[in-house]
Amino acid sequence: MAAHGFKRVLLGFQPGSLGRTINFAVELANLLDLELLGFFLDDRNLRDLASTPFARELRPLGGGWHPLDLERMSRDLEIAARATERMFITAAARLAARYQFEVIHAPMAEAVACVSRTGDIVMIVEPLSPAERATQQFAWLIEAAFRSAAAVMFVPMSIVRTSGPIVAIAAAPDDPSVQAAAGIAIAAKEALIIVHAYDEGAADDSSIRKQSPDPALTIEHIAGSKSLLSGPAAFSRAFHELRERLLVMTRDVFEPEAASMIAWMRHVPVLIIERPLETIDHTILPRQEMPRDSGTEK
């Protein structure tokens, strides 16, 4: 396994997300030598909603309110899924590693639990608008991703840098984000910056060098305090000159909404990795098999 510890990138698609960030996912998979899984979510909840007698849709251009047409919805979802698959395969053909596309017929939480596992990175693309961010569907996606065993990456719609240091936010002396960030820095041929956001403990490179012994890895330490973790605004003000390419932190550092806000404010991806195994809440959704249509596999 690579020094960063990851094996796959998972990129989920929903109706309306055609083409967004496919290239970024492919570039990330190539950079870290990861497999890529794209999946289109055909949420059964939408079909259940369409079958209820009170469900209505507002049609544009004065069309007014009409009952949801289950047959038309099914046809539109099928067309969107196949169009997404074609775009995904075209972009993923540049990958050196394996790639696969699937259509999954399941609610959001079950779908993410089904396809993800330890060693995966689930990508969540920042919405185009505040209205999209406020939707229940986006909230369900975040909740499902953070209830899985995978790492989660928030990706802003506008990424300002494609080079620069990889920054780990260490909330404790043995924070696992440091090792993950070191492995990514080696793969990306970038420097590693460790922000020590805790009040005690000395900076030490020995454990990093032992597990990531690349002599070309440059490591810089920045002293901090727990006050840096009080919120996205305080964090961004303190480190506005880092000019990082990627931020890496554990799930204990910020709540998902705050981590998402940091990605939006700094215009760089934020990778949130799982806590060490002994501290994981084992009440997460169990992995289970879901109805799916397998697409092209390299």
Mean pLDDT of the chain: 80
DSSP 80-141: HHHHHHHHHHHHHTT-SS-EEEEEE-S-HHHHHHHH--TTEEEEEEPPSSHHHHTSHHHHHH
pLDDT at position 215 over 70: yes
Say if 289 falls within a structural domain: no
Distance in angstroms (rounded) separating the CA atoms of residues 84 and 174: 41
Domain membership of residue 188 as a residue range = 166-273
183 with 253, same domain: the answer is yes
Burial of 136 (0-12, 13-18, 19+ CB in 10 A): exposed
Quick one: 26 and 95 in the same domain?
yes
Give mean pLDDT, residues 19-24.
76
DSSP 184: H
Element (H, E) at 227: none
Q: Are residues 236 and 140 in the same domain?
A: no
Q: What is the pLDDT of residue 212?
A: 67
Q: Does the structure show a pLDDT above 90 at 73?
A: no
| Residues forming a β-bridge with 271 | 153, 248
Question: When comparing pLDDT for 289 and 126, which is higher?
Answer: 126
Strands 151-155 and 64-67 come out as: unpaired
The average pLDDT across 158-181 equals 91
Question: Is residue 286 included in any domain, yes or no?
Answer: no
Q: Is the pTM for the entire model greater than 0.85?
A: no
Q: Give the type of residue at 129.
A: S
pLDDT given for residue 78 in this prediction: 83
Q: In whole angstroms, what is the distance from residue 150 CA to residue 5 CA?
A: 11
Per the DSSP assignment, residues forming a β-bridge with 222 are 195
Give tens-digit pLDDT for 178-193: 999 999 999 999 999 9
Residues 35 and 122 in one domain: yes
The yes-or-no verdict on residue 17 having pLDDT over 80 is no
- Categorize the per-residue pLDDT at 64 as very low, low, confident or very high, splitting at 50, 70 and 90: low
Kindly tell me if the per-residue pLDDT of 7 is higher than 60.
yes
With respect to residue 284, please indicate whether it lies within any of the assigned structural domains: no
> Comparing 221 with 141, which gets the higher pLDDT?
221
287 belongs to a structural domain: no
In angstroms, rounded to a whole number, what is the distance separating the alpha carbons of residues 204 and 233?
A: 28
Is residue 280 in some structural domain? no
pLDDT tens column, 275-295: 654 433 333 334 444 556 666
